[in-house]
């Protein structure tokens, strides 16, 4: 599955440091259409702000999402890009429910904040809900070729 445009949570942007992310557990969680992202300077900043909108636990999905593996920060002109392996959930024994946004956050304390949000994206660029993943099938969110996001500055 391809991803929509990845947007960094502005409230945490000033403290976002690639070295911090590489030493932390970064998770991707799936949330329902009841969540409306607030990427402004005064908007969402921690997982607790949005966790009530997470899809249900079970059927291959675990509350809190999945830890991203093999995460790397690669130097690019005037900054770094953040990438990882593509997360995969296996729908079993029943369907993984519909979802709309994937949210990345740091599990634990970072920058003096508990479970700070990093970024989010629409699972479907329409926007529309991503249909349920049928039992016996994987839900794979493909890491973009250019990574999840970068911190380039002109």
Q: Could you report the per-residue pLDDT of 54-95, keeping only the tens digit for each? A: 999 999 999 999 999 998 888 777 778 899 999 999 999 999
1 falls within a domain: no
Both structure tokens of 87: 């997360």
Place of tokens 């690639």: 18
Is the pLDDT score of 13 beyond 60?
Answer: yes
Tell me which residue of 97, 106, 131 sits closest to 28, measured CA to CA.
106
151 falls within a domain: no
Both structure tokens of 137: 């099938």
Q: Sheet containing 149-150: which strands, arranged edge to edge?
A: 72-76, 79-83, 149-150
Give the least confident one: 28-42, 74-88, 92-106: 74-88
Could you tell me the CA-to-CA distances from 93 to 62, 64, 98, 136 in Å, in that order?
13, 19, 16, 7
Is the pLDDT score of 1 beyond 70?
Answer: no
Q: How far apart are CA 138 and CA 101, in angstroms?
A: 17
154 falls within a domain: no
148 falls within a domain: no
**How many domains, in total, are found in the chain?**
1
Both structure tokens of 98: 């519909």
Contact indicator for 46, 40 with CB cutoff of 8 Å: no
107 is in which domain, residue-wise?
7-142
Q: What is the mean pLDDT of the chain?
A: 91
Helices (H), the chain: 10-13, 18-22
How many CB atoms are located within 10 Å of the residue 32 CB?
Answer: 16
Could you tell me the CA-to-CA distances from 45 to 41, 127, 129 in Å, in that order?
9, 22, 23
Residues 6+ apart with CB under 8 A from 92: 59, 60, 135, 136
């Amino acid at each position: 599955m391809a991803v929509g445009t990845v947007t960094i949570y502005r409230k945490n942007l000033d403290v976002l440091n690639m070295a911090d992310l590489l030493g932390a557990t970064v998770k991707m969680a799936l949330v329902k259409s009841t969540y409306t992202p607030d990427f402004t300077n005064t908007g969402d900043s921690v997982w607790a702000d949005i966790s009530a909108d997470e899809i249900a636990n079970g059927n291959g999905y675990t509350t809190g999402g999945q830890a991203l593996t093999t995460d790397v920060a690669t130097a690019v002109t005037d900054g770094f890009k953040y990438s990882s392996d593509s997360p995969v959930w296996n729908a079993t024994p029943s369907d993984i429910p519909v979802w709309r946004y994937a949210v990345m956050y740091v599990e634990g304390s970072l920058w003096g904040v508990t479970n700070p949000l990093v970024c989010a994206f629409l699972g479907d660029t329409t926007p529309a809900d991503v249909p349920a993943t049928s039992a016996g099938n994987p839900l794979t969110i493909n890491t973009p070729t250019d990574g999840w996001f970068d911190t380039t500055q002109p």
